[in-house]
């Protein structure tokens, strides 16, 4: 057969960023979860718009723990960024180091989240305001817990093995998801803590 | 962000801009229209309370302008430069890429024109109806 | 402008110069490679092996079959309804059972049949149509199938225990809320949503990734088959719309089970919030059902007109436009709720404008037929039936878009007639035609033409007899979802006609099923490309081997099999002893890198079991969420933990530091 051939045998067997399919899968998850957060925020604003007093008969949530946690979350982006960079350079030791530090931040913000729940100044079953605030905070909490757990598992893998170069891509994409969990918190913080103090 | 130096990204920044322009040209129409719909719906409550509609008209004008600009940007990117420095990886020839870009350029114009019409269709009730039931 | 070192770029022999035949394309070499590939890509055999399949064709086939089993259940429920309504004051079922039946019928058809069957056909055919060896994230797709199977088992188990949902397929509070919805019925509905959305979302993400990253080299965006475009667009719609129904149904479960007040007016909630969130999903949902059928129409009409479909750009843009506009019409389901007039009018405008892109497709298809050399096998007859049936449904849709008319016929059989015309006309007719069209590729056999024509004729006549009179019944004032009616209403005659029509429709569908059963055993053997079609799924055997294509293909046009296949380059250099898949770039499908795909695995099945257990447990106690997460975590670790390939971390690190892996510039 005199067909021309396209020889792909020299192509690499992994690649970073949007070149690799794991990025697309992670992005898909980010878009889905982000849309869920957006829906909850819209529900909050809708209920607020229907209500003459907001929060109805309550003090707004205490600013302290939410703001502290926001700072911890934002600070965690530093070791997260360094993890991603180390992964892109296939530097196993640095990846292990920075991931461990990031997970330390993760422990902190999971613990502070408990104090946030306790200082919301409303229970979930008191009224619609309480329901939507608890659900919004609860959804985000589910994300910080699951991101923490899956990052622990990934870090464990990097110590125990067996691993290949493509696992560095997984680390980079995990970092991207961590960014999402942190950055999605910002509008949620604004809605839970600042919106009830405005207008 | 580490620089991606794969052969794909070794084309200059102009190519990245070109891709962005093409996607924007095609998708800006529907995205702006959908945003306008949500904004209009929310603002219709404000229009009823304040008995004003000028902000609804402004929203329409801004939307039309954005979509027109995006469509033109996409279309001009579709016509694109004719001097890409190196052949792409066969069987993706320069022709393949250029034809695809021109196709997206046409899609930009068609999408933008159509969604300007859709945006204007939403202006009709603002003109015809009173602000409150 | 620096040129990269050539290491990471595929080499191509200049097609213009005369050359020696490439030794890798020697028939004996290819024969050996095909045997090796068949072993590499094989799914495990046997009963227990079946639970760990990851081949998209295996998953696709069972996905399609399961969806049609649920279609049958939904049809039986419809038959019971039509028996009950055939005469005034009938006593075949009680009011309470009737409520469950119409709810189960709608829920089954919308959540367990219509969307899943489209996704299932995408799972099977998208990788083939783009020339890929696999679907992206095969284990995730398998997980999506198991969640879908368990969804139906979950729903019907509770229905058979008399705990089936009974508030309609969209289950509005407050009727479905804690005050009026006693028992677990509405909870079953809400959790079914969670099951099916989980399934749909993972398949959607897999399809998007597949279409963007796994296309054959040369398949630039403007060369993607229209059915693949439709599946890509529908996957995006899924990703953006399903979260809304997840939140809506979660709010309902929380209100019912733990005492939240999302939809409780007395405590600041609003039941209209549920309606907004549900229909923000619900309307795109019907386009998720309709757009793949439009893709099937373009596919079949092109093949049987023996020409590429007219107006490729217009059709692709129409699909994209319909998808976007579909997100902006949802309030038309709420015209009777007392929303402000100006606000509603925006949605009248959008609901009218959404017709235009579909109209554009209609004219493109007519132009294709007009300038084609037509053939009329059964799939073509289904495609032609679509024109008539969907048109009626679309016209009544434009009527319903006008608020004054909608207010007159809201919640009557007029609406029932409308959506059955668009759903069955718009989706089921093309679907049945597409099954007929793709049956040779799926099974290696041809369906019988004669039996097929008989089935279609009865289905077409029966369908119109069933649903056309419902327009009139609606205009006469017959409400929907009533279990019986008085003889004085005068609706008895038309209802009897409708029920007879339903019987004829059922016989038509049974004959269709008979065709499938008989042809699976005795149908004529199918060649690679029995219809002489142009897209890549026909470039391999019927059914395809586990590895789909050998050699792997490249394309230079939209209709590869009609455009000089002999001189088109083929791909060599993919390993045959591991599951190598070529990953390409988004815009023009230039080859980028190779990825090794996962082996068959039992973990998707196990994970689906643990997730289902958690979903069911949370219906009875909120602690189910916490305790149920533990087995899920274990299952996911089992899924993700690598086996077989890879090195000890210290070894890999040493290799990297010694420079024994890729230069970073090639992979970043």
pLDDT tens-place string over residues B54-111: 999 999 999 999 999 999 999 999 886 655 555 566 667 778 888 999 999 999 999 9
Q: Is residue A5 part of a domain?
A: no
Mean pLDDT score, C503-513: 97
Distance (Å, rounded) from C-alpha C563 to C-alpha C543? 23
Instruction: Give chains near A: 3+ CB pairs under 8 A.
Output: B, C
- The residue of chain C nearest to residue B53, with distances taken between CA atoms, is C342
Which band of pLDDT confidence, cut at 50, 70 and 90, is reported for residue C659? confident
The pLDDT of residue B12: 53
Instruction: Give chains near C: 3+ CB pairs under 8 A.
Output: A, B
Across the interface, of B12, B26, B44, the residue whose CB is closest to C340 is B44
**What is the extent of the structural domain holding A91?**
17-197
The pLDDT of residue B46: 86
Chain centroid, CA C403 distance in Å: 31
Domain CATH code at residue A177:
1.20.120.80
Rounded percentage of chain C residues whose pLDDT exceeds 90: 89
Which band of pLDDT confidence, cut at 50, 70 and 90, is reported for residue C19? low
Do the chains contact at C668 and B12, CB–CB below 8 Å? Answer: no
The pLDDT of residue C612: 98
pLDDT above 60 for C14: no
Q: Is C328 on the interface with B (CB under 8 A)?
A: yes
pLDDT above 50 for C220: yes
Digit-coded pLDDT (tens) for C522-532? 999 999 999 99
Do the chains contact at A39 and C244, CB–CB below 8 Å? Answer: yes
Residue C572, SS3 per DSSP? strand
Of A8-17, B8-17, C165-174, C383-392, the least confident: B8-17
- Chain A, 57-86: which have a CB under 8 Å from a chain C CB? none
Q: Is A6 on the interface with B (CB under 8 A)?
A: yes
Of A1-5, A177-181, B111-115, C561-565, the least confident: A1-5
DSSP state of C130: T
Do the chains contact at C353 and B7, CB–CB below 8 Å? Answer: no
Domain assignments of chain B as residue spans, ordered by start: 30-128
Chain B nearest-CA distance from C223, in A, is: 8
Do the chains contact at B10 and C4, CB–CB below 8 Å? Answer: yes
Mean pLDDT score, C184-200: 96
Across the interface, of B2, B8, B45, the residue whose CB is closest to A88 is B2
Question: Looking up tokens 């057969």, which residue turns up?
Answer: A1
pLDDT above 60 for C9: no
DSSP strand pairing (C570-572 vs A5-7): parallel
Q: What is the overall mean pLDDT for chain C?
A: 94
Chain A CB contacts of B4 under 8 Å are 16-17, 19
Q: Is A38 on the interface with B (CB under 8 A)?
A: no
Which band of pLDDT confidence, cut at 50, 70 and 90, is reported for residue B47? confident
C-beta atoms surrounding B45 within 10 Å: 16
The pLDDT of residue B130: 77
Chain C CB contacts of B98 under 8 Å are none
Digit-coded pLDDT (tens) for C268-327? 999 999 999 999 999 999 999 999 999 999 999 999 999 999 999 999 999 999 999 999
Do the chains contact at A4 and C569, CB–CB below 8 Å? Answer: yes
DSSP code string of C212-278: HHSPPTT--GGGS-HHHHHHHHHHHHHHHHHHHHHHHHHHHHHHHHT---TT-GGGT--HHHHHHHH
Distance (Å, rounded) from C-alpha B115 to C-alpha B117? 5
* Total domains in the fold of chain A: 1
Report whether C501 contacts C460 (CB < 8 A).
no
Do the chains contact at A163 and C649, CB–CB below 8 Å? Answer: yes
Chain C nearest-CA distance from B15, in A, is: 12
pLDDT above 50 for C512: yes
Digit-coded pLDDT (tens) for C537-555? 999 999 999 999 999 999 9
- Chain A, 101-160: which have a CB under 8 Å from a chain C CB? 124-132, 134-135, 149-150, 153, 157-160
Chain A CB contacts of C243 under 8 Å are 32-33, 35-36, 38-39
Distance (Å, rounded) from C-alpha A108 to C-alpha C581? 41
Do the chains contact at A49 and B45, CB–CB below 8 Å? Answer: yes
The pLDDT of residue C12: 53
Digit-coded pLDDT (tens) for C394-434? 999 989 988 899 999 999 999 999 999 999 999 999 999 99
Nearest to C324 by CA among B133, B38, A71: B38
Q: Is B91 on the interface with A (CB under 8 A)?
A: yes
- The residue of chain B nearest to residue A88, with distances taken between CA atoms, is B2
Do the chains contact at A6 and C661, CB–CB below 8 Å? Answer: no
Domain assignments of chain C as residue spans, ordered by start: 21-265+575-668, 376-531
Question: Looking up tokens 């059915």, which residue turns up?
Answer: C227
Question: Looking up tokens 């006469």, which residue turns up?
Answer: C476
CATH topology classification for C21-265+575-668: Cytochrome C Oxidase; Chain A (1.20.210)
Do the chains contact at A19 and B2, CB–CB below 8 Å? Answer: no
Digit-coded pLDDT (tens) for A153-184? 999 999 998 999 999 999 999 999 999 999 99
CA angle B11–B12–B15, rounded 5-degree value:
80
The pLDDT of residue C85: 97
Which band of pLDDT confidence, cut at 50, 70 and 90, is reported for residue B8? very low
Q: Is residue A7 part of a domain?
A: no
């Amino acid at each position: 057969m005199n067909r021309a051939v396209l020889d792909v045998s020299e192509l690499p067997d992994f690649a970073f960023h949007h070149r690799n399919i794991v990025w697309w899968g992670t992005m898909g998850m980010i878009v889905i979860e982000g849309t869920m957060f957006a829906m909850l925020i819209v529900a909050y604003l809708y209920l607020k718009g229907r209500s003459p007093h907001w929060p109805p008969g309550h003090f707004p949530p205490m600013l302290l723990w939410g703001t502290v946690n926001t700072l911890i979350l934002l600070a965690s982006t530093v070791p997260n960024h360094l993890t991603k960079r180390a992964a892109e350079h296939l530097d196993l030791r640095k990846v292990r180091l920075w991931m461990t530090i990031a997970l330390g931040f993760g422990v902190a913000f999971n613990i502070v989240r408990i104090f946030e729940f306790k200082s919301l100044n409303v229970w979930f079953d008191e009224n619609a305001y309480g329901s939507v605030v608890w659900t919004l905070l609860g959804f985000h909490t589910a994300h910080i817990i699951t991101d923490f757990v899956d990052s622990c598992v990934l870090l464990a893998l990097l110590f125990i093995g067996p691993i290949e170069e493509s696992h560095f891509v997984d680390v980079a994409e995990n970092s991207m998801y961590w960014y999402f969990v942190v950055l999605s918190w910002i509008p949620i913080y604004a809605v839970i803590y600042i919106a009830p103090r405005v207008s | 962000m580490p620089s991606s130096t794969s052969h794909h990204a070794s084309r200059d920044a102009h190519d990245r801009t070109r891709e962005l322009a093409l996607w924007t040209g095609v998708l800006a129409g529907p995205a702006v229209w959908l945003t306008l719909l949500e904004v209009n719906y929310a603002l219709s409550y404000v229009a009823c309370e304040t008995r004003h509609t000028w902000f609804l008209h402004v929203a329409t004008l801004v939307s039309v302008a954005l979509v027109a600009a995006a469509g033109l940007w996409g279309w001009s990117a579709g016509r694109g430069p004719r001097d890409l420095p190196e052949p792409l990886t066969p069987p993706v020839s320069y022709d393949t890429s250029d034809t695809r870009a021109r196709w997206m350029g046409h899609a930009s114009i068609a999408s933008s024109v159509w969604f300007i019409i859709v945006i204007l269709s939403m202006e009709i009730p603002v003109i015809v109806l009173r602000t409150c039931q | 402008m620096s040129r990269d070192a050539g290491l990471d770029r595929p080499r191509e022999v200049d097609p213009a110069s005369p050359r020696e035949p490439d030794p890798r394309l020697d028939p004996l070499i290819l024969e050996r490679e095909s045997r090796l590939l068949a072993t590499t890509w094989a799914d495990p055999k046997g009963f227990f092996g079946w639970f760990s399949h990851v081949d998209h064709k295996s998953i696709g086939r069972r996905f399609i079959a399961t969806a049609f089993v649920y279609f049958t259940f939904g049809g039986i429920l419809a038959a019971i309804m039509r028996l009950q309504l055939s005469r005034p004051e009938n006593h075949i079922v009680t009011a309470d059972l009737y409520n469950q039946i119409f709810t189960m019928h709608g829920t089954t058809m919308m959540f367990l049949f219509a969307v899943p069957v489209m996704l299932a056909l995408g799972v099977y055919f998208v990788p083939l149509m783009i020339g890929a060896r696999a679907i992206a994230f095969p284990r995730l797709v398998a997980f999506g199938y198991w969640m879908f199977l368990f969804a139906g088992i979950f729903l019907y188990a509770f229905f058979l225990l008399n705990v089936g949902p009974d508030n309609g397929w969209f289950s509005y509070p407050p009727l479905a809320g804690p005050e009026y919805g006693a028992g677990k019925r509405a909870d079953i509905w809400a959790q079914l949503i969670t099951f099916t959305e989980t399934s749909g979302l993972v398949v959607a993400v897999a399809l998007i990734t597949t279409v963007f990253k796994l296309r054959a080299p040369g398949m630039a965006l403007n060369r993607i088959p229209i059915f693949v475009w439709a599946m890509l667009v529908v996957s995006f719609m899924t990703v953006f719309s399903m979260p809304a129904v997840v939140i809506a149904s979660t709010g309902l479960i929380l209100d019912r089970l733990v005492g939240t007040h999302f939809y409780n007016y007395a405590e600041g909630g609003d039941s209209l919030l549920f309606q907004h969130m549900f229909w923000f999903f619900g309307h795109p949902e019907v386009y998720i059902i309709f757009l793949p059928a439009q893709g099937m129409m373009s596919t079949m009409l092109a093949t049987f007109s023996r020409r590429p479909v007219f107006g490729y750009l217009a059709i692709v843009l129409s699909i994209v436009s319909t998808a976007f506009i579909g997100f902006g019409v949802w309030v038309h389901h709420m015209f009777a709720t007392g929303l402000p007039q100006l606000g509603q009018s925006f949605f009248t405008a959008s609901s009218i404008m959404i017709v235009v892109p579909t109209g554009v497709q209609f004219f493109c298809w007519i132009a294709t037929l007009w300038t084609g050399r037509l053939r009329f096998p059964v799939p073509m007859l289904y495609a032609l039936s679509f024109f008539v049936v969907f048109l009626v449904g679309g016209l009544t849709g434009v009527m319903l878009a006008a608020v004054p008319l909608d207010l007159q016929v809201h919640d009557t059989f007029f609406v029932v007639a409308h959506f059955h015309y668009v759903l069955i006309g718009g989706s089921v007719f093309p679907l049945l035609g597409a099954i007929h069209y793709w049956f040779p590729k799926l099974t290696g056999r041809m369906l019988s033409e004669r039996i097929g024509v008989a089935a279609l004729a009865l289905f077409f006549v029966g369908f119109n007899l069933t649903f056309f009179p419902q327009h009139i019944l609606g205009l006469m004032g017959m409400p929907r979802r009533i279990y019986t009616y008085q003889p004085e209403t005068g609706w008895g005659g038309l209802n009897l006609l409708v029920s007879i029509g339903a019987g004829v429709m059922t016989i038509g569908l049974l004959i269709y099923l008979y065709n499938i059963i008989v042809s699976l055993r005795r149908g004529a053997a199918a060649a690679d490309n029995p219809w002489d079609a142009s897209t890549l799924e026909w470039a391999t055997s019927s059914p395809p081997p586990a590895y789909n294509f050998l050699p792997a293909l490249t394309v230079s046009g939209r209709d590869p099999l009609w455009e000089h296949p002999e001189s088109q380059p083929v791909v060599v250099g993919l390993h045959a002893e591991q599951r190598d898949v070529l990953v390409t770039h988004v815009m023009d499908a230039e080859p980028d890198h190779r990825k090794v795909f996962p082996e068959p695995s039992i973990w998707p099945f196990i994970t689906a079991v643990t997730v289902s257990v958690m979903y069911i447990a949370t219906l009875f106690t909120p602690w189910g969420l916490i305790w149920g997460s533990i087995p899920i975590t274990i299952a996911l670790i089992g899924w993700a933990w690598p086996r077989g390939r890879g090195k000890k971390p210290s070894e890999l690190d040493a290799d990297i530091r010694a420079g024994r892996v890729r230069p970073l510039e090639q992979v970043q």
